[in-house]
Chains A and B, each alone.
Chain A
């Protein structure tokens, strides 16, 4: 075991970690947008749209993320849509994260008892006021743990983008391995970097959650 040869590749590792973070944040943002839009559609009155969203959720939750990345990267070009590796991975991961987000956001909204909405209406609040002050805060708090743990899974899942040569952390590992032949050492270091990033995000989300949702939970 010899970790010294890896030392001179620290800049590549940092660059890889930055690409990983970019890929995670971009996919999470677009995924959440899909999630909100999908949850609204599921709550809506248009039946065909509801079926469309249901189909999308089941399709993306029941096939491997790796295959989805392959399809976006290798198959879409035959329809004339040729995306670079990073963009292809971002599209595939956004759709994957989005499928989970729809369900999380929908169940967050569903967790608010109907009687609370009615109580708000009885107080003379408008539809928007009921949503903004009565439904949204507890719904956000209920959905928050699921969203954040899904975010950490997304961070770890971006490692699959290395398979279409996105130059994120795991791909950098392959590059360093090919230069140093220190396979075990490289992947041990990479695992530690992912671990550090995942734990940092978990700590950050715990702090944010404690600061944002301070009102007492009803028992």
Chain B
């Protein structure tokens, strides 16, 4: 046992690096997938809509912790080889991000009136041009506040990677707490760091919501 010192403080902030890496990976792979899911959900082919809806339902009805364990232990079973834990964890966070962002963005796309598509088509734009130049910009504006809100969920969700042994912020907190026997100080500090990351995003999301709503 030793007392809480500067080095513990530094180790918490160093572990924050992994929290950021996990968030960036989840967004980098999850966002394109989410766009695909959202576009599939508004497809004119019923089979496509149903498939995408089913995928989203399944991922949203399983705990994030379950997804993480499923892929952590499942990757060797599926592929027959050991893969680094970061790959399994990235797959789980990617699917989680894709399902939730996909559903948020679908809401944004559907909120743009059908007449906007028709107007584009009257101007002789192709389906892709209608989406790219008319629908997407309006949908983006509508879905930006909940997207930022989901980012907060994702940052909080990366704390679960600690359970698989990733030394990100939550895990570093457990280690420091066990070494110093100062759970109060350590966990308060960990919570404060998460809070400092998430609060600005929450406030930004709220101001976006107020601003975009007022201009409509």
Contacts and interface: CB of A to CB of B under 8 A. Distances in A.
A170 interface: yes
A194 B187 contact: no
A187 B73 contact: yes
B151 to A, nearest CB: 12
Given A62-B152, A67-B190, A188 B70 contact: yes
A65 B177 CA distance: 18
A159 B65 CA distance: 7
A75 interface: yes
Interface string A146-160: 000000100011011
B61 interface: yes
B198 A66 contact: no
B194 A63 contact: yes
- Decide if the interface of chain B is mainly helix, strand, loop or mixed: helix
B195 A62 contact: yes
Contact of A67 (B58, B157, B187): B187
Interface stretch (B25-33, B137-145, B158-166): B158-166
Interface residues of B, number: 38
Contacts of A163: 163
A74 B183 contact: yes
A63 B195 CA distance: 5
A199 B61 CA distance: 7
A199 B58 CA distance: 9
Given A70-B183, A74-B183, A157-B63, 13 more contacts: A1-B77, A58-B199, A62-B199, A63-B191, A67-B187, A71-B188, A71-B191, A156-B64, A170-B66, A184-B76, A188-B74, A194-B62, A202-B61
Interface of B: 57-58, 60-67, 69-70, 73-74, 76-77, 152, 156-157, 159-160, 162-163, 170, 173-174, 177, 183-184, 187-188, 190-191, 194-195, 198-199, 202
